[in-house]
Amino acid sequence: MQLKTINNFFLARNEKDFLKISKSEFDQVNCFCDDVFFAIEMMKKYALQGTLILPSRFALDKQKFEKFKHSGFKFSVFVDLLDDDDILNRVSLLKLPTTTLLYENLTRTGQISQKFGGKMPAQALEDLGFLDHECQIVGGMYADKDDLQILGEHNAEITICPRAFAEKGATFVNLKLLARYPVKLSLGTYDFPEIDLERELEFLRLTSCALFEDPYAVTIKELKKLTQGEKI
């Protein structure tokens, strides 16, 4: 089972990052870069195929967005639920695929819930209409059963970045909980300096075994299946 087919997510800030991604030889890459036109240049230079994740304000700029669409790249719009309501509502009206950072730490998860009057973050996404279209959620460690039920009903995707969020003090990923719901799973590095999904998988395996106090709780083969859209 080849690693290059794993669903993924990367942040790229400079040419060095795009070069590292290209050396990983993935069939498709999901990549966020603040400078969209630089990202297009790099994707073409290194013959990368996949989805560019656009800043919300870029997508709302009609002139820039129209110019981008001529590039031919697939895209998703990054939304931050803590952003201004005006921005969120305007992006929602575009009815486009979205990507959001969610459930990556308890503080931010609580802030989002408070902003929306105590609603679960998944409920806020649903109310804004973002779950009516393809939606990728980067994080997911602190999603509870009710959130996952809503996300699963909309076939949303959760991208887990084990080493990056562990370094920030987040809890381990509860794979058994995620696997109970029809959410799609993908694997990423977020802003971790090293792009190596083999090590992400091994870290995820070790932390999962530690979480369940079972050295055989999950295997690398099972993890690859999960991040290729299969169930285990």
pLDDT for the residue 2:
54
3-class SS of residue 158: strand
**Residue 179 to residue 12: CA distance in whole angstroms:** 29
SS (HEC) of the chain: CCHHHCCEEEECCCHHHHHHHHHCCCCCEEEECCCHHHHHHHHHHCCCCEEEEEEHHHHCCHHHHHHHHCCCCEEEEEECCCCCHHHHHHHHHHCCCEEEEECCCHHHHHHHHHHCCCCCHHHHHHHHCHHHCCEEEEECCCCCHHHHHHHHHCCCEEEECHHHHHHCCCCCCCHHHHHCCCCEEEEEEECCCCCCHHHHHHHHHHHHHHHCCCCCCCCHHHHHHHCCCCCC
| pLDDT of res. 232 | 58
Whether the CB-CB separation of 203 and 166 falls below 8 Å is answered with yes
Q: Which of 16, 24, 175 is nearest to 33 (CA)?
A: 16
Instruction: State which residues of the chain have pLDDT below 70.
Output: 1-5, 229-232
Of the candidates 31, 73, 59, which has an alpha carbon nearest to the alpha carbon of residue 195?
31
Instruction: Please give the pLDDT value at position 1.
Output: 39
Q: Phi/psi at 142 (nearest 5 deg)?
A: -110, 20
Residue 84 is predicted with a pLDDT of 94
Considering only CA atoms, which of 127, 190, 128, 129 is closest in space to residue 158? 190
Bridge partners (DSSP) of residue 76 are: 53
Domain 3-226 belongs to what topology?
TIM Barrel (3.20.20)
Residue 52, strand partner residues:
31, 75
Nearest Cα to 188, choosing from 9, 38, 15?
Answer: 9
Please tell me the predicted confidence (pLDDT) of residue 229. Answer: 66
Give the pLDDT of residue 120: 92
- Give the tens place of pLDDT for each residue, 81-117: 999 999 999 999 999 999 999 988 889 999 999 999 9
At residue 105, the pLDDT reads 86
- Owner of token pair 């409920």: 123
Q: How far apart are CA 30 and CA 9, in angstroms?
A: 5
pLDDT at 223: 85
Angle at 99 between CA 96 and CA 105, to 5 degrees: 150
Closest among 87, 136, 80, 85 to 108, alpha carbons compared: 80
165-176 pLDDT tens trace? 888 888 888 887
What are the sequence ranges of the domains in the chain? 3-226
